[in-house]
Structure 1
Amino acid sequence: MAPLYYVISLVLVGWHNLFSLVLDPEGGMSWVLSIIGLTLVIRAALIPLFVKQIKSSRNMQLIQPKVKELQKKYGHDRERLAQETMKLYRESGTNPFASCLPILLQMPIFLALFRLLDHAADGKAKGVMTTERAKQFGSSEIFGAIPIKDTFLQPDGHTTVMVVALFLVLAMTATTFLTQRQLMSKNMPADALSGPYAQQQKMLLYVLPVVFAVGGIAFPIGVLLYWTTSNLWTMGQQFYVIRNNPAPGTPAAKAKEERDQAKAARKGTAVATVEVEPEPEVQRRPAQRQQPKKQTRSQRRQAGQRGAGNQNHPGNQGNQNDENGGKTQ
């Protein structure tokens, strides 16, 4: 545990130095915020592992139909079924225990923080902490009356400690349950809810909250703050992943498809509105009727004489005779 003491104390002291610029260095709030800062650093460092966990969980869901086929084929031979199932896991690059890795890796950090706070309560320095800082950390209080080293079982006569500890235990238990239930209800297809993987998830859904609730009453206030903050981070991180990159064939995938279609429809309507927007009409004046030019009396007389002359022309008379002759014949 010695390396973990150094790492955790280094992060705690770093955050404490930062918050001491605006808060009382000896006050409990600066140390409480330092614990929350430690949680954020640890969870940010575990993001690659969380991504691996999501991929493994998705692969487990996708291969459930093949697992069911193996169960039908080798249901009479449990040893052969186990061998073929593990072979399928290896071929698909799936680890059935990947969902437990973030919790398993956080447990040593969790215990190291517990021991670090326990030693600080006795004025003992661990890691990079000095004796003075260890005493400040061990005797720090929140709201001026709740020591962060006290537990629900050992409130040192403070009723408020029991109330706050019970609240944090319930919050830790509820966030653990809701995080696991969110994964099962939104990011698991219907086929995956009846296989062995689903049984494992259901077991974790109910067992882990009970374990944390029973053990939480013995944890100091500072440790409960760490675990509750870590659960809130997990729940928010998982919500983001499920919403934006859900597993295929799940309720979350259907919801995302509906959101994408609605978004595309809104964009399509906006584009269509721009395309069909009518152009501004150009007002045109109606064409004016051209009036005939005025003629003098002599011009009108000459025009009438020209018309009469055309009628008496020999060619016109010949045409009339031909027509009359044709009619006579």
Structure 2
Amino acid sequence: MTPLYYVISVVLVGFHNVLGTVLDPEGGASWVLSIVGLTLVIRAALIPLFVKQIKSSRNMQLIQPKVKELQKKYGHDRERLAQETMALYKEAGTNPFASCLPILLQMPIFFALFRLIDQAADGKAHGVLTSERAKEFGQAELFGTIPISDTFLSNDGEWTVMVLAAVLVLAMTATTFLTQRQLMSKNMPADALSGPYAQQQKMLLYVLPVVFAVGGIAFPIGVLFYWTTSNLWTMGQQFYVIRNNPAPGTPAFAAKQERDRAKAARKGKAPEGEQPGAVATEAVDEPARPARHQPKRQTRSQRKKR
């Protein structure tokens, strides 16, 4: 954890040095905003991984019909089904665990920040955070009454800590649920809502919020600010991607097409497939041709006279 302590403390102290020039350096607001700044830096660094996650998730959605075909074909042979499914994942350049990568990579950072805040109140130094600075950090109070190192369970009977912690836990839980729900309801094709990938997503939809809600009551206020800010970033980032680059065959894709048509109509552009400025021509009736009359049949005597 030592390298993570240095990375986190450098960013945290850097933000605090800047914010301390306009806010009370010993106040909780400057330290909480420093934690928010740390969160934004970490999430910005994870953007390439998020893009990879989006691509992998999209590929997972698009290959669900093929996965169902494999299940029908090899449903009686689990070992062969697993081999063929993994081969399909490899061919598509994806895997079912790609959606968990951002969370998995954030967990060490999360635990490092948790320990740093938890031990800061005792003046324990980590990274570039000296003992004196750590004690100042651990004892900083938000609104003058809420130590950012306190938790819902450990607060010395301070009800304001419990209220703020409860609000942040609910916000953390709600944003986790809404982010996953947004992905499933808007950016998953109908074929992908009944396969194994959909089952994995449904499990995460309900399991992750419960995990965060149960664990959140033991998180320090500062850590709750970190995780809630991170969730808000994820929700906004995902909303932007789904709105502007949705997967084909999804409700978000249909909504984007409708917006594009409306935008083209406002600008006076012809719909896709039509040539701009083309004038519809009406069919012109051709002049009626005179009817052709068959000559009357003549008798033999009439033909001899001619």
Q: TM-score, normalised by structure 1?
A: 0.81
Which residue of structure 1 aligns with residue 173 of structure 2? 173
Distance 1:260 1:32 in 2: 41
Give me the CA root mean square deviation. Answer: 1.1
Unaligned stretches of 5+ in structure 2? 271-276, 278-306
> Which residue type is aligned with residue 13 of structure 1?
V
CA distance in 2, matches of 1:53, 1:156: 42
Task: Please give the per-residue CA displacement for 1:57-109, whole angstroms capped at 9, x wherever unaligned.
Answer: 00000000100110111111111101000000001101210000000000000
Contact 1:119 1:126 in 2 (8 A): no
Which letter maps to 1:29? Answer: A
Alignment of 1:27-42 (within 5 A): 27-42=27-42
Letter in 2 for 1:173: T
Match of 1:291 in 2: none
Kindly report which structure 2 residues correspond to 1:184-263, keeping only aligned pairs within 5 A, or say none.
Answer: 184-263=184-263
Q: What displacement does 1:24 show?
A: 1.1
Give the corresponding residue for 1:112. 112
Once residues 142 and 95 of structure 2 are traced to their aligned partners in structure 1, the CA distance between those partners, rounded to angstroms, is 42
How far does residue 27 in structure 1 lie from its aligned partner after superposition? 1.1
Q: Which has the higher helix share?
A: 1
Offset, 1:124: 1.1
Aligned residue identity for 2:214: V
Map Cα deviations across residues 117-170 of structure 1 (whole Å, 9 max, x no partner). Answer: 111111111110112211110000111100000000011120110111011101
After TM superposition, the runs of 4+ consecutive aligned structure 1 residues lying more than 4 A away are: none
Say if 1:152 and 1:219, in contact at 8 Å, map to a contact too. Answer: yes
Q: Distance in 2 between matches of 1:137 and 1:96?
A: 40
Please tell me whether the aligned partners of residues 152 and 218 of structure 1 are also in contact (alpha carbons under 8 angstroms).
yes
**Residue aligning to 1:93:** 93
Q: Which consecutive unaligned segments of at least 5 residues does structure 1 have? A: 276-329
Query: What is the one-letter code of the residue matched to 1:243?
Result: R
Specify the code of the residue in structure 1 equivalent to 2:39. T
Give 3-state SS (helix, strand or coil) of 2:24's partner: coil
The amino acid across from 1:15 in the alignment is F
Give SS of 1:126's match.
Answer: coil
Report the equivalent of 2:161: 161
Distance 1:88 1:68 in 2: 12
Question: Residues 198-245 of structure 1, C-alpha deviation per residue, up to 9 Å, x if partnerless?
Answer: 000000000000000000000000000000000000000000000000
Q: Which amino acid aligns with 2:6?
A: Y
Question: Partners in 1 of 2:174 and 2:213 — Cα distance?
Answer: 9
Give the residue type in structure 2 aligned to 1:220: P
Aligned ranges 1:114-153 → 2 under 5 Å: 114-153=114-153
- Whether the aligned pair in 2 keeps the contact of 1:187 and 1:250 (CA below 8 Å) is yes
The normalised TM-score by structure 2 is 0.87
SS of match in other structure, 1:268: coil
Is 1:165–1:217's contact at 8 Å kept on the other side of the alignment? yes
Letter in 1 for 2:15: W
Q: Distance in 1 between matches of 2:155 and 2:267?
A: 59
Percent identity of the aligned residues? 86
